[in-house]
Amino acid sequence: MDLSLVIVSLAAFLTPTLLARFKVTLIPSTVAEIIVGVLLGKSCLNLVHINSVLDTLSTLGTIMLLFLSGMEIDFSLFKHHQPTTMLAAKKAKTAPQKSPLKIASLAYALTLVVSIALGVIFAVTGLFSDLFFSSIIFATVSLGVMISILKENELLGRPYGQGLLLFGVFGEIIPLLCLTIYSALKSGNGATLWLLSLVFLAAAYLLMRFRNFFNIFGKLTKETTQLDMRFAFLIIIILVVLAVSVGAENILGAFLAGIVVKLLEPEKVTQEKLNAIGYGFLIPFFFILTGVKLDLRELLSSKSTLILIPLLLLAFLIAKLPAYFYFKQLATKRNALAGTFLVETTMTLVISGVAIAQNIHVVNSQQGGAFILAAVITCLLGPLLFKKLYQPAADKVAKTQVHIIGTAMASVETAKQLPSDWYEVQLYTARQQVYDSFKHTAPINLLDSLAVKELIEQGIFDTDILVIADLNAKQNYQLAIAAKKYGVERVIVRLSDPDPDETGEMEQKLATLDIEYFNTFNTSVSVFKAAIIAPEILDLITSTNSDLFEIKVTNAAYDETLITDLPEADDIVISRIIRQGKLVLPQDDVRLETDDRLILTGPRKAVSRLRQRLDNQNE
């Protein structure tokens, strides 16, 4: 065996290392690997020669790339969330009707139309005769490149980022299906095209048959068995082999395998291991060898190819430009243009498609090289122009609405001491005397009664946090249940019933409804006891410089972030993480998940800066 395998392996290691060492962020690593392949191949140094081992590794890299692309799809974006409570329905009516799914669908539909028109132009002018192949290729998008840029800019959790992501999903799924059908028809297997349905049926069967695999068998895996990995590769092999057997392309089976595994909801650690095998081993071979196979000398020696490269690049760009008019509904004109340039990136399916087209003799090596070079340039221009144009809006963290029913001195003082930059507090009472006492010192409102119907009509239940602190425990209990049924996310109720049995029954019912409750006497005793046992707790509770806070993680950019890597990590102390109603100890190796709630303490300024990043409601 020659040194080609060693050289490619060394290049796969050094390329991202040098990019990181010299802080080169404008060039995606995949593009850099193709450029390195060009330098090592017949175009320049001619150090690497394709053999059976490298060819096999390149094929496996293609399969892993498409498999991981399938796993990148966030299917929750396709779900229509029907409001389940009156409050949710009211919010849905008043929310801006800007569905990322609808906008991305319309934008990509227009892209398909323009791509077909461009294919016709190329065919009529004689630039490239195969109308169907060029139309498919013009409509492709590199989902992997897009996701890395969206993650870097903390956009995946926002409608703008979701719209771009969905456009990228369409730009990978639809051309892939079209490319599979096109290949079958062009290679003379059109009569057996119906066999493609077997691949989809097999994928559906595997999904249904193993829907609980990661919940059951995943717990049985260990270092010497790695059942989760064996299962993932079993799915890949079954669908890839079946796809090839029915005359389809292996990339279709790999992509469907990624979708199946994604829908089976593997653990984060399983996804990390699959990414490690793909991006750490096999995929770099695919991209480097793609560059090795390019012969720039031959390409650039042909006048027709020299003309074709810039025209193909222009076609790639024009095909997605109409998406701008839909992206404007999700962002400013400048950011819509930035997003349009980002979706211009196309490479993965272009390389795979060219390989397929060469196998069925639709394109020659020079035309294939022109398509690949034009695609590589889009992956340089797209991220570069996006970073140049994109302007993040000022992060505006929405204030938490707090409504307090039942006013006493404690309620008024609590309202005054809640940070005004975090909370917007309103007090409510049905007692004229109480209203007259506090109306000049607190944001208090007088109600005719505390009947549920009136509270709903007056919008008292339209809040993030509802505190019910009247003296009547039974009334508080009934209002709390009504508010939770209405849809208030957090309900806190005061219970001070002298009957311990009746209080116990109410507490059990409230606990089942996820309603928080407190008793002023018990609360005072608990604080007093804690202050004696651990004196620092009293200082923590009463200090104005270092309060106790709760932050909810809504910014998808921080999903899977180690708590030790959080901004302001040196100034804050995380005492608890609440995840799906369960406590998680904040150990150094714990990673955050979306919707986690962090209980922490620290200087208010540091906590505020952290909240702006984690609980980011900027659209």
pLDDT of residue 506: 86
155 touches 342 (CB < 8 A): no
pLDDT in tens, 528-569: 666 676 665 556 555 555 566 778 888 777 877 888 888 877
* Residue indicated by tokens 């695999």: 213
DSSP 210: T
Neighbouring C-beta atoms of residue 295, cutoff 10 Å: 16
Alpha-carbon distances of 371 from 134, 459, 483, rounded to whole Å: 9, 60, 60
Measure the CA–CA gap between 401 and 170, rounded to whole angstroms.
38
Residues whose CB falls within 8 Å of the CB of residue 132, separated by 6 or more in sequence, listed in order = 119, 182
Q: Which residues on adjacent β-strands are paired with residue 578?
A: 583, 597
Structural contact between residues 579 and 596, judged by C-beta atoms closer than 8 angstroms:
yes
Tell me the DSSP string of 233-296.
HHHHHHHHHHHHHTT--HHHHHHHHHHHHHHT---HHHHHHHHHHIIIIIHHHHHHHHHHH--H
Helices (H) and strands (E) in the chain, counts: 28, 10
CA distances from 507 to 474, 503, 580, 594 (A): 11, 6, 21, 30
Let me know: does 40 contact 290? Beta carbons within 8 Å.
no
The answer for residues whose C-beta is within 8 angstroms of residue 550's C-beta and 6 or more apart is: 597, 598, 599, 600
Cβ atoms of 291 and 38 within 8 Å: the answer is yes
Query: Which of 250, 337, 243 has the alpha carbon at shortest distance from 286?
Result: 250
pLDDT of residue 190: 67
Query: Which of 245, 244, 217 minimizes the C-alpha distance to 232?
Result: 217
Using CA atoms, how far residue 461 sits from 404, 454, 513, in Å, is: 10, 10, 16
- Write down how long the chain is: 619
pTM of the predicted protein model: 0.75
pLDDT number for residue 178: 92
C-alpha to C-alpha distance for 25 and 359, rounded to whole angstroms: 35
Cβ proximity of 398 and 421 under 8 Å: no
The dihedrals phi and psi of 508, each to the nearest 5 degrees, come to -65, -45
Supply angle C-alpha 472, 478, 480, rounded to 5. Answer: 95
pLDDT less than 50: residues of the chain: 617-619
State the DSSP code for 399. Answer: P
The per-residue pLDDT for 56 is: 94
Q: How far is CA 109 from the centre of its chain?
A: 23
pLDDT of residue 319: 96
Distance separating the N- and C-terminal Cα atoms of the chain: 56
Beta-ladder partners of 549: 600
**CA 498 to centroid of chain Cα atoms:** 50
Q: What pLDDT score does 618 carry? A: 41
b/e for 139-157, b at 16 or more Cβ within 10 A?
bbbbbbbbbebbeebbbbb
d(CA 356, CA 249): 8
The answer to whether 288 and 62 have CB atoms below 8 angstroms apart is no
Please give the Cα distance from 244 to 251 (Å, whole number).
9
Residue 358: other Cβ atoms inside 10 A: 14
Report whether 61 contacts 246 (CB < 8 A): no
Strand pairing report for 597-603 and 573-579: antiparallel
- Dihedral of alpha carbons 288, 292, 294, 295, sign: positive
250, 254, 255, 258 alpha-carbon torsion, rounded to 10°: 170
Burial of residue 459 (number of CB atoms within 10 Å: 0-12, 13-18, 19+): exposed
User: In this predicted structure, what is the pLDDT of residue 619?
Assistant: 39
| Phi, psi of 401, rounded to the nearest 5 degrees | -80, 125
How deeply is 1 buried, as exposed, middle or buried, from its count of CB atoms within 10 A (0-12, 13-18, 19+)?
exposed
Domains of the chain, first to last: 4-41+98-191+208-233+270-389 (1.20.1530.20), 400-534 (3.40.50.720), 543-614 (3.30.70.1450)
Per-residue H/E/C for 259-270: HHHHHCCCCHHH
State the SS3 of 20-34: HHCCCCCCCHHHHHH
